[in-house]
């Protein structure tokens, strides 16, 4: 019983960052129909940015996270502007190849600059975990859950209630008609890519201190993000949120009760099962953002 | 107010509109009639900046708007109410209307305009928090018209406003469009329902295979033997 509770608590703490990863990817796919292979690299960028700001520049941990997220948004905007905008309207193969190229380039840049040795990020939280009845959780993980949840809620608010968020939804629902409303579609693409990238960077900035930072950390994050998005249905933000938590629970329980070596395999087991039985994703309410 | 000069436009390499010249005078209701595939919708899309213009010119209010962005054209005062209504299906009625005034920032006037639209279309007022995809066809058409009006256009273009609507709703829709003209907004309407379109307009053009074949008052076109035979089915 105690073990189960502990696994559930761990999963809950992990789930919020997985949800961020999934929301970011599903937004970009939903609006732009771009399969974003750089998503995982934005995740590792977020982690490296925190590491770099803290270790090399001596920036405060919390400030470093905020700066990393903003830098992630800007990097996403740059990728969209420099790589995707010039090939807008090209077929999906071209877009995919460009994104795969960007992914390889980004990962190798990290390897070149920081080397292949894993880095760890120092945090201001006490080492001793917080004891809550039968379970114990680290302060860092509680921080991750709180910030992750706040970002999820903020993203919902942004999409549902701000003018830009509404324009993003309108563009998703009807591209040409959105243009007739005077919405700058190219600008929406850049904003969406920046937002999705910022969410990936946030997930990396939050999980980097929990695990270790390595140049290849983005690969598995990317695969997990795809698993979450397939689970929740492409373009479905609520699906991605719930999918993120489901993946975290399955991984945590799989690692706990099957074998910890199979932790990362659990996501793919889910994808296979979902694709076999409900290929449109668990939460498909037609095709929607929101 | 709006002049097309030798407009050529289409999709990819296929040109659908092949040298069309028409004039829409200020305050007029002008109907563009023709068969399916004659290039009516393409013409409207080219005017509003949704598809590129290969050659020719579009002049609005003395300003050349050929190949300007859809955003720029709307901001100059041309609204386009597209074929098939195209409301945003997962957004509420209110949000759809908000999208209509996306380029405006005058909060107070926007609120006034919105309450005027709700006054004019009480069905929409009752459903203001309902998502547009759940409205009936007629309600969606009212919403699409209201949304186009929210930009406070000088010229409003309707593409097949009667398409797929019940007969009593069709009549109501045409009344609304006549009303819009009567209140001083210029209207350019594309319509398959040729008889209604000709009866209500100030001026009409017949296009066939992407080119102009007839122009005149609605009455003149109704009396024209070719129009009678091909479009009025008598």
* pLDDT tens per residue, range A229-267: 888 887 888 999 999 999 999 998 888 888 888 888 887
Q: What is the nearest CA distance from A10 to chain B, expressed in angstroms?
A: 35
Interface touch B90/A169, C-beta < 8 Å: yes
pLDDT at residue A127 is higher than 90: no
The 10 Å Cβ neighbour count of residue A263 is 16
Work out the average pLDDT over B152-168: 93
Nearest to A142 by CA among A163, A128, A162, A161: A128
pLDDT at residue B195 is higher than 80: yes
Q: Does B151 touch chain A (CB under 8 A)?
A: yes
Task: Work out the widest C-alpha separation in chain B, in whole angstroms.
Answer: 52
Q: What tokens were used for B226?
A: 């070719």
Average pLDDT value for chain B: 92
Residue A217 lies in a domain: yes
CA distance B222 to B224: 6
Nearest to B27 by CA among B179, B182, B152, B170: B182
* pLDDT tens per residue, range A158-203: 999 999 999 999 999 998 999 999 999 999 999 999 999 999 999 9
Provide the pairing of β-strand B155-159 with B2-11: unpaired
Q: Which secondary structure element, helix H or strand E, spans residue B204, and what is its range? A: strand B203-208
pLDDT of residue B129: 94
Which chain B residue's Cα is nearest to A160? B91
Nearest beta carbon to residue B102 from set A174, A176, A183: A183
Q: Does A181 touch chain B (CB under 8 A)?
A: yes
Q: With contacts defined as CB-CB under 8 Å, which chain A residues touch B98?
A: 163, 166
Q: Does B82 touch chain A (CB under 8 A)?
A: yes
Q: What is the nearest CA distance from A179 to chain B, expressed in angstroms?
A: 6
Q: What tokens were used for B151?
A: 């930009």
Q: Does B86 touch chain A (CB under 8 A)?
A: yes
Q: What is the nearest CA distance from B219 to chain A, expressed in angstroms?
A: 33
pLDDT at residue A290 is higher than 80: no
pLDDT at residue A286 is higher than 60: no
* pLDDT tens per residue, range A12-24: 889 999 999 999 9
pLDDT of residue A254: 87
Torsion of CA A159, A162, A166, A171, to 10 degrees: -80
Residue A284 lies in a domain: no
| pLDDT tier at A284, thresholds 50, 70, 90 | low
Domain containing A8 equals 2-277
Least confident of A37-41, A226-230, A260-264, B123-127: A260-264
pLDDT of residue B233: 74
pLDDT at residue A278 is higher than 90: no
Distances in Å between the Cα of B63 and the Cα atoms of B4, B25, B37, B75 are 12, 15, 29, 13
pLDDT at residue A289 is higher than 70: no
Q: Which residue has the higher pLDDT, B44 or A254?
A: B44
| pLDDT tier at B234, thresholds 50, 70, 90 | low
Q: With contacts defined as CB-CB under 8 Å, which chain B residues touch A186?
A: none
Interface touch A180/B74, C-beta < 8 Å: yes
Residues 6+ apart with CB under 8 A from A44: A107, A110, A204, A213, A214, A215, A216, A217, A218, A221
Residue A218 lies in a domain: yes
Which chain A residue's Cα is nearest to B83? A177
Residue A39 lies in a domain: yes
Q: Does B80 touch chain A (CB under 8 A)?
A: yes
pLDDT of residue A48: 97
| pLDDT tier at A288, thresholds 50, 70, 90 | low
CA distance B35 to B227: 11
Q: What is the nearest CA distance from B70 to chain A, expressed in angstroms?
A: 6
Q: Does A176 touch chain B (CB under 8 A)?
A: yes
Interface touch B91/A183, C-beta < 8 Å: no
Pick the CATH number of B2-84+148-231 from 2.60.40.10, 3.10.150.10, 3.40.50.720, 3.40.50.300: 3.40.50.300
Interface touch B88/A173, C-beta < 8 Å: yes
Interface touch A174/B86, C-beta < 8 Å: yes
Nearest beta carbon to residue A180 from set B75, B80, B90: B80
Between helices B93-100 and A163-173, what is the axis angle to 10°? Answer: 100
* pLDDT tens per residue, range B203-228: 999 999 989 999 989 889 988 888 88
Let me know: does A69 contact A202? Beta carbons within 8 Å: yes
pLDDT of residue B203: 94
Q: What number of C-beta contacts closer than 8 Å exist between A and B?
A: 63
Residues 6+ apart with CB under 8 A from B202: B25, B28, B29, B30, B181, B217, B218
Nearest beta carbon to residue B75 from set A180, A182, A290: A182
Let me know: does B119 contact B149? Beta carbons within 8 Å: no
CATH number at residue A23: 1.10.3470
Q: Return the percentage of chain A with pLDDT > 70, whole number.
A: 98
Mapped onto helix, strand or coil, the DSSP state of residue B91 is coil
Q: Return the percentage of chain A with pLDDT > 90, whole number.
A: 63
Let me know: does A205 contact A69? Beta carbons within 8 Å: yes
Nearest beta carbon to residue A182 from set B50, B74, B90: B74
Q: Does A184 touch chain B (CB under 8 A)?
A: yes
Q: How many distinct structural domains can be found in chain A?
A: 1
């Amino acid at each position: 019983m105690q073990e189960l509770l502990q696994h559930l608590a761990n999963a809950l703490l992990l789930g919020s960052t997985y949800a961020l990863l999934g929301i970011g990817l599903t937004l970009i796919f939903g609006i732009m129909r771009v399969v974003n292979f750089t998503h995982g690299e934005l995740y590792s960028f977020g982690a490296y940015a925190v590491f770099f700001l803290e270790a090399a520049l001596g920036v405060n941990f919390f400030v470093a996270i905020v700066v990393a997220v903003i830098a992630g948004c800007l990097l996403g905007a740059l990728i969209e502007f420099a790589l995707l905008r010039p090939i807008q309207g090209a077929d999906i193969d071209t877009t995919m190849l460009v994104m795969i190229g960007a992914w390889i380039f980004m990962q190798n840049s990290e390897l070149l600059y920081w080397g292949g040795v894993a880095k760890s990020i120092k945090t201001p939280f006490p080492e001793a975990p917080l004891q809550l009845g039968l379970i114990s959780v680290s302060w860092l993980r509680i921080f991750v859950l709180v910030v992750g949840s706040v970002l999820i809620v903020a993203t919902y608010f942004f999409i549902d209630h701000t003018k830009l968020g509404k324009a993003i939804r309108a563009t998703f629902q009807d591209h040409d008609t959105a243009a007739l409303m005077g919405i700058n579609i190219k600008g929406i693409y850049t904003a969406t890519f920046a937002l999705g990238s910022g969410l990936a960077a946030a997930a990396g900035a939050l999980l980097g201190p929990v695990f270790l930072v390595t140049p290849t950390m983005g690969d598995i994050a990317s695969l997990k993000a795809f698993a979450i998005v397939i689970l929740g249905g492409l373009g479905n933000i609520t699906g991605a949120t719930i999918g993120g938590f489901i993946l975290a629970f399955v991984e945590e329980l799989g690692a706990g009760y099957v074998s910890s070596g199979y932790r990362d395999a659990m996501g793919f087991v889910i994808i296979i099962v979902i694709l076999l039985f409900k290929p449109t994703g668990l939460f498909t309410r037609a095709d929607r953002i929101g | 107010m709006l002049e097309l000069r030798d407009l050529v436009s289409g999709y990819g390499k296929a040109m659908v509109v092949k040298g069309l010249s028409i004039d829409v005078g200020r305050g007029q209701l002008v109907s563009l009639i023709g068969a399916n595939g004659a290039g009516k919708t393409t013409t409207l899309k080219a005017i509003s900046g949704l598809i590129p213009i290969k050659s020719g010119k579009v002049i609005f209010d003395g300003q050349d708007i050929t190949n300007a962005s859809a955003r720029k054209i709307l901001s100059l005062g041309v609204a386009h109410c597209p074929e098939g209504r195209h409301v945003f299906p997962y957004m509420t009625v209110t949000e759809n209307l908000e999208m209509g005034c996306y380029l405006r920032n005058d909060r107070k006037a926007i609120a006034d305009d919105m309450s005027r639209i709700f006054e004019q279309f009480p069905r929409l007022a009752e459903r203001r928090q309902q998502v547009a995809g759940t409205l009936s066809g007629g309600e969606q058409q009212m919403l699409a018209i209201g949304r186009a009006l929210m930009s406070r256009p000088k010229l409003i273009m309707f593409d097949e406003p009667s398409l797929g609507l019940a007969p009593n709703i069709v009549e109501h829709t045409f009344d609304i469009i006549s009303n819009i003209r009567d209140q001083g907004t210029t209207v350019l309407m594309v319509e398959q329902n040729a008889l209604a379109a000709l009866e209500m307009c100030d001026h009409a053009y017949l296009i066939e295979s992407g080119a102009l074949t007839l122009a005149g008052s609605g009455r003149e076109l109704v009396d024209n033997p070719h129009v009678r035979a091909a479009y009025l089915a008598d």
